[in-house]
A and B are shown apart, each in its own frame.
Chain A
């Protein structure tokens, strides 16, 4: 299975760097054989830049499997009296704050940071494709190919940003598409730059306004509340605060918001046909705000600003199916607690 192989490769890379950091002699010896002389401190400095590995997975289940293998490696090292492998799993449910905290922690790590505290393994779904730009991320393993080459480019661009990077792609030979990707690996990579694709957005979809308006209104309101031009600045996340602020400023805010909404929805378009669609989009958005969403919002029927509209404000452009909860029975919970 590709995920097993990806996990094995990741664990092996992390363990090898771990061992070399404990004793860099084999690295120094090998470099000398290549005509390169380095001191122990220089060798350790190089190794520091290669001690963080990222495993990119296409499903949460795969991520769990890889994370499990890294934890097993960590246990093995602890049992051997060495440092644990501090690993983080970043997936769809990971908040932007948690993601930023993981990135910040890695950036803050130095050779002076105790090794057991340094994050040395990341397992991530596509959430790591954007915003995870780390000089120290120079090993990456892909457990199977992402759905598109554009995503592949994004995913693999995480490694080797400041140093030479190594990316290992694991293919599934039982999958026709991945087999084909493997067979055309060299030719594909020769033309990879041509495969960057735009993010699919259809601004004129019939439900586009209904889906986006609550979120855009929330963003504009948040932005306005930080504007010192208004008499008071409020944290408007909670309805009871927002209501007071809105009522105090509504007379001036409503026409101002309308102008900003129009600007938010209107884009310059190249041809007359699209201009018609563009005008309709703007008109629909403004009409819906005036006639539906603002009326609903001013009923104040929820505790939070983002819930005051006909549908919750979007927090992601990804359409996620309704979640199913997982629960273990009482006995299962006791058993897992006794394994801890």
Chain B
């Protein structure tokens, strides 16, 4: 049996129960692979720490990644080892159905060595695994408990009358016909009991996905001293924001500025204006005034320009991992093959320049600031543990993959890194802000310059970090997400080279940035997005805009209600696999209004 690495990451890590293709049920007990060295551990463990902080302390069975980073080891899956599980067998004879149960594989072999086969002790018929188990939020999983007959006081004659659900099925005794419910099995963990009462394990079929939820995270895998230094810098948010604003995209320069002694406080714009007036009145020449402005006046470029103007909330928000990752992706010293459409436009001549200019107009008409392509989008999926019964933080325990005498005594994280091709799309902040103002969700004046618009929007996001709201910030985030889905789906035009189900999104809504990447973990890329950037941006965007204008499911899709507040369906915005939030928080009507507005603005002289 073989499975792809991504399938293994989502279905076949330690603790997972699965139906083996040779017809039995097994549990993964160990996973071997090669140590992953080309992965930024610091970023991964920081993100793991953030993930784990969403769970209650007593629910987390993993070491604290911040205080004990050396307790972790990272592997890429190469071989899955499994055991037969559960070791409860039922007689295949429908008139018998009696059970035999073991707890260890060696016991099964010892007890059946004589017969050389697992046979029913009563009728000698063949047996098969009982495909039910019980599990609980605390992480416990047990074979289905076989109760003793209340009359015959033993389990020898018990069988499972399987009627297809635990609610209707029951244990029955072949001896006396007594029946016992299968519904409740107490768990002795003493946790997750309803109303603080007795905790019960739930019955599941062995292939029920609720038996094992992998807990995964995704990071952008950027390695290098500059990026590591940035990650550890307390003011990394300033460097990330300087990148977003276009003040300084070279992170090494930003870090250098952040670490350089300030050389004395700079004046505010107001104070400098007064000082400059005094200097001019005193007859100081322009060269000296300019020199003094550079050293003492308000900063106008680089991280210093950012530092003097942002709120503490924005400083904190800009230091969040996705913002820093975005800054890393847009630093051409780090991702050196990233090619922007404006680069192509700048290099074009003749007919190519005319075509590129038209494409820029198409982008502007949809409120898009930039589209870039890279063949080395460094995405990593990693799994650090699993939960049972529930998958959301706070509702169950997170169980690590660690094993006694395995993984060098450390806690393994299983990761699949990839360098795949991606299109990076950034929406235009002035367009988004203008649209929010048009909708009545932004009341201040829309700044005239892109940098100021980005800053104003960033402050708006920082002041309202909640997701899924109907505030200006919430709408803008939904807009970025919806536009990403629309553009991703529009790439499936038969000519880009990829179907929708082969693509996935990575978005940083607060930076108006999205990546559409090829969800492939092979060693090669096809280079198809390079062609899209060179030749097909206009038709691609035209298709995206056209597709959100009307949905084949209208009027049903457009109909909204308190239960369905936004318009999105399988025919317009949903993705098969590539959405990180499983198609939540999408709104085609909002996107349609936005693109109609941007198109009107672009058409207005």
Contacts and interface: CB of A to CB of B under 8 A. Distances in A.
Contacts of A188: 552-553, 571
A322 B4 CA distance: 6
B20 A200 contact: no
A93 interface: yes
B360 interface: no
B141 to A, nearest CB: 17
A71 interface: yes
Given A184-B571, A332-B82, A339-B128, A176 B584 contact: yes
A73 to B, nearest CB: 12
Going nearest first, the 9 A-B pairs with the smallest beta carbon separation are: A202-B497, A206-B527, A198-B494, A147-B501, A321-B4, A205-B528, A147-B576, A323-B2, A202-B528
A176 B21 contact: no
Interface string A314-340: 000001111111111101101110111
A208 interface: yes
Given A147-B500, A200-B502, 19 more contacts: A1-B205, A61-B11, A64-B20, A71-B23, A184-B553, A184-B557, A184-B570, A206-B375, A206-B527, A206-B528, A211-B524, A319-B502, A321-B520, A321-B521, A321-B522, A324-B4, A328-B26, A331-B108, A332-B82
Interface-centre pick from A80, A197, A336 (highest chain B CB count, 10 A): A336
Contact of B80 (A147, A184, A327): A327
Given A327-B79, A335-B118, A322 B527 contact: no
A311 B526 CA distance: 14
Interface in A135-155: 147-148
B570 A206 contact: no
Interface residues of B, number: 87
A4 B4 contact: no
A207 B499 CA distance: 18
Interface in B78-113: 78-84, 87, 89, 92-94, 105-106, 108-109, 112
A183 B563 CA distance: 15
Nearest to B570: A180
B332 interface: no
Contact of B5 (A1, A322, A340): A322
Interface string A192-226: 00000111111011111001000000000000000
A61 B19 contact: yes
6 contacts: A183-B569, A187-B553, A277-B535, A324-B77, A324-B80, A335-B105
Contacts of B112: 338
Contacts of A323: 2-5
Interface of A: 1, 3-4, 8, 59-61, 64-65, 67-68, 71-72, 75-76, 79-80, 89, 93, 147-148, 175-178, 180-181, 183-184, 187-188, 191, 197-202, 204-208, 211, 273, 277, 311, 319-329, 331-332, 334-336, 338-340
Contacts of A200: 492-499, 502
Contacts of A319: 502, 520, 522
Contacts of A199: 494
Given A75-B92, A324-B8, A201 B494 contact: yes
B531 A205 contact: yes
B582 interface: yes
Interface of B: 1-8, 11-12, 18-24, 26, 77-84, 87, 89, 92-94, 105-106, 108-109, 112, 116-118, 126-129, 164, 205, 207-209, 355, 375, 492-502, 520-522, 524-528, 530-532, 535, 552-553, 556-557, 569-571, 574-577, 582-584
A328 B233 CA distance: 47
Given A1-B209, A321-B520, A184 B494 contact: no
B6 A321 contact: yes
Nearest to B583: A176
Contacts of A277: 531, 535
A199 B492 CA distance: 9
A181 B570 contact: yes
Nearest to B30: A329
A277 B528 CA distance: 13
B531 A147 contact: no
| Max chain A C-beta neighbours (<10 A), residue from B21, B82, B129 | B21
A111 to B, nearest CB: 29
A68 B19 contact: yes
A205 B531 CA distance: 6
A208 B574 CA distance: 29
Contact of A329 (B5, B81, B108, B118): B81
A8 B117 CA distance: 29
Contact of A191 (B552, B574, B575): B552
Contacts of B5: 321-324
B23 A4 contact: no
Nearest to B500: A148
Contacts of A327: 79-82
B539 to A, nearest CB: 11
